[in-house]
Amino acid sequence: MNFDPSCPLCHRRNFLRTALAGSAALFTIPGAFAEALTRTARDAEGPFYPDKMPLDTDNDLLILNDATTPGVGAVTYLSGIVMDLNGQPVRNALVEIWQVDNNGVYIHTQAGNKEKADKNFQGYGRFLTDRKGRYYFRTIKPPRYPARTPHIHYAVSHKNRRVLTTQLYIEGEKLNADDFLYKRIGKPDLQKTVTVPFKPVENSKNGEFTAHFDIVVGLTPEDPAGRGRPGGRRR
């Protein structure tokens, strides 16, 4: 994607208008490998799901409303498909993400180091999948911060019911091996369902990345008692 970084508003409008247009090459084909699909591993929601939503909750986390100053960090174009266990795309699934800013601060009111927060970073976004199950976000590559490996929180809801809570991890990140939640997911094949490469955008002058995270869900609600616990009861 070729956007003019000197024009944040142009960038935002182009992004929101063209996020899915012409992006077929970024997406896999649902159903092509249905016999091998594994449900995306659950993970903990964590304590910092926003308790007060930002004024802007769209899929561009770098620009708040019509602000002219973008959030700081390694720009990442994050995309994927939400599909069921048969590989069929899930239309109108609500995909939510939330993460720390480049200084390691969540937008939650109880998060630490609030004085260091990037006031221009949205911290939370949501997107309703299209008829092909596709979603798209513009955010930053999550940084390292105390006690955790870099990650992005995810929640997927369908027909107003949460069907998955998980976290996205960076392939090749050395801190994954010692992260208590990553280890708690269990077997490597389950960890693989939530671990993706962040690939540098070719010829990017600003060090941008792309990341593609396909999500396989069951369409029954999560067990509230087991939500976010890899060992909890699954449906």
> Would you say the pTM of this structure is higher than 0.85?
no
Residue 209, beta-bridge partner list: 76, 200
> Range of 163's domain?
8-216
**Tokens linked to 84:** 């069921």
Q: Report the 3 state secondary structure along the chain.
A: CCCCCCCHHHHHHHHHHHCCCCCHHHCCCCCCCHHHCCCCCCCCCCCCCCCCCCCCCCCECCCCCCCCCCCCCCEEEEEEEEECCCCCECCCCEEEEECCCCCCCCCCCCCCCHHHCCCCCCCEEEEECCCCCEEEEEEECCCCECCECCEEEEEEEECCEEEEEEEEEECCCHHHHHCHHHHHHCCHHHHHCCEECEEECCCCCCCCEEEECCEECCCCCCCCCCCCCCCCCCC
The C-alpha atoms of residue 124 and residue 154 are separated, in whole angstroms, by: 10
**How confident is the model at residue 148, as a pLDDT?**
96
**Tokens linked to 221:** 């609600």
**pLDDT (tens place) for every residue of the chain, 235 residues total:** 333 444 544 455 455 555 554 444 444 445 444 456 899 999 999 999 999 998 899 999 999 988 889 999 999 999 999 999 999 999 999 999 999 999 999 999 999 899 999 999 999 999 999 999 999 999 999 999 889 999 999 999 999 999 999 999 999 999 999 999 999 999 999 999 999 999 999 999 889 999 999 999 997 777 554 454 433 322 2
The C-alpha atoms of residue 217 and residue 222 are separated, in whole angstroms, by: 10
**How confident is the model at residue 36, as a pLDDT?**
60
Q: Closest Cα partner for 90 from 164, 150, 147?
A: 164
| Contact by Cβ (8 Å): 75, 208 | yes
**How confident is the model at residue 11, as a pLDDT?**
52
Q: Is residue 49 in some structural domain? A: yes
Q: Is residue 223 in some structural domain? A: no
Q: Is residue 96 in some structural domain? A: yes
Q: Is residue 151 in some structural domain? A: yes
**How confident is the model at residue 145, as a pLDDT?**
86
User: Phi and psi of 9, rounded to 5°?
Assistant: -65, -40
Q: Is residue 234 in some structural domain? A: no
CATH of the domain at 16: 2.60.130.10
Q: Is residue 140 in some structural domain? A: yes
**How confident is the model at residue 230, as a pLDDT?**
39
Q: Is residue 232 in some structural domain? A: no
**How confident is the model at residue 19, as a pLDDT?**
55
Q: How many domains does the chain have?
A: 1
**How confident is the model at residue 67, as a pLDDT?**
83
Q: Is residue 224 in some structural domain? A: no
